[in-house]
Amino acid sequence: MSGPGAEGPIPRIVSAVRRGLGWRDRRTKADLPNMMPVGAALSLCYAAVWTGLLAVSDTGGAALTLAALLALPCVWLSLRDLAAFTIPDAASLSVAVLGLVSQWLFHEAMLIMSIAAAITVTAVFWGAGALHYRLRGREGLGIGDAKLLGAGVLCVGPFAIWWVILIAALGGIAAALIHRARRPAAPAGIPFGPFLAFAIYIVFAIRMGQL
């Protein structure tokens, strides 16, 4: 018979799901901020983009399915980055795989070029982030951001990734200014992953709408 302090199967399952989503820090075992309201807001934003893709284009079922699936790792990594300044490798890998599938289905002639560009972009931004950290002593662009950018290349192609960077940078700057104005004494750093993820999704949806 279980003791009074023993956990039943349901609490253990819930705890495992929370750890997988990044809602509980594995090192400290401390609960991270409740991300449910933020997750709901993010889901609405992604749903709005997907609905726009559905409404304004003649995109087929495969493209719409890929767009719906892409929203899942984007929301997941955004929540994790907001909660703990960490982008799960599994989320970036999911974005990369979905990007590869979209390239293979709709832009097969660009597949090899996109893979090469993804490797190059990851290496360049990874190196730039490491150099910034060495010179300034604080992280500017994290390794997770560099990996996500590389995965983004596979989603939007080598020529549209600059639109992703521009949209994400503008969104990040606006959020940082608002954050600084509302909380002057708070730490200045904000996670960049959510802005990268949403920018990737917007450009991906536009690209799918042009098929």
Nearest in space to 79 (alpha carbons), one of 137, 26, 32, 134: 32
31 has which bridge partners?
Answer: 24
Cα–Cα distance measured from residue 172 to residue 184, given in angstroms and rounded to the nearest whole number: 17
Cα–Cα distance measured from residue 107 to residue 78, given in angstroms and rounded to the nearest whole number: 27
48 confidence band (pLDDT: 50, 70, 90):
very high
**pLDDT of res. 9:** 53
Nearest in space to 64 (alpha carbons), one of 24, 32, 106, 94: 106
pLDDT tens profile 63-122: 999 999 999 999 999 999 998 889 999 999 999 999 999 999 999 999 999 999 999 999
pLDDT tens profile 156-184: 999 999 999 999 999 999 988 888 888 77
pTM score of the predicted model:
0.83
Three-class secondary structure assignment of the chain: CCCCCCCCHHHHHHHHHHHHHCCECCCCCCECCCCHHHHHHHHHHHHHHHHHHHHHCCCCHHHHHHHHHHHHHHHHHHHHHHHHCCCCHHHHHHHHHHHHHHHHHHCHHHHHHHHHHHHHHHHHHHHHHHHHHHHHCCCCCCHHHHHHHHHHHHHHCCCCHHHHHHHHHHHHHHHHHHHHHHCCCCCCCCCCHHHHHHHHHHHHHHHHHCC
**pLDDT of res. 5:** 46
Cα–Cα distance measured from residue 133 to residue 98, given in angstroms and rounded to the nearest whole number: 31
* The dihedral formed by the CA atoms of 128, 130, 134 and 135, expressed in degrees to the nearest 10: 10
Cα–Cα distance measured from residue 165 to residue 38, given in angstroms and rounded to the nearest whole number: 23
Kindly state the tokens that stand for 19: 């750890």
Cα–Cα distance measured from residue 107 to residue 208, given in angstroms and rounded to the nearest whole number: 11
Check if the beta carbon of residue 87 is closer than 8 Å to that of residue 147.
Answer: yes
pLDDT tens profile 131-162: 877 887 777 788 899 999 999 999 999 999 99
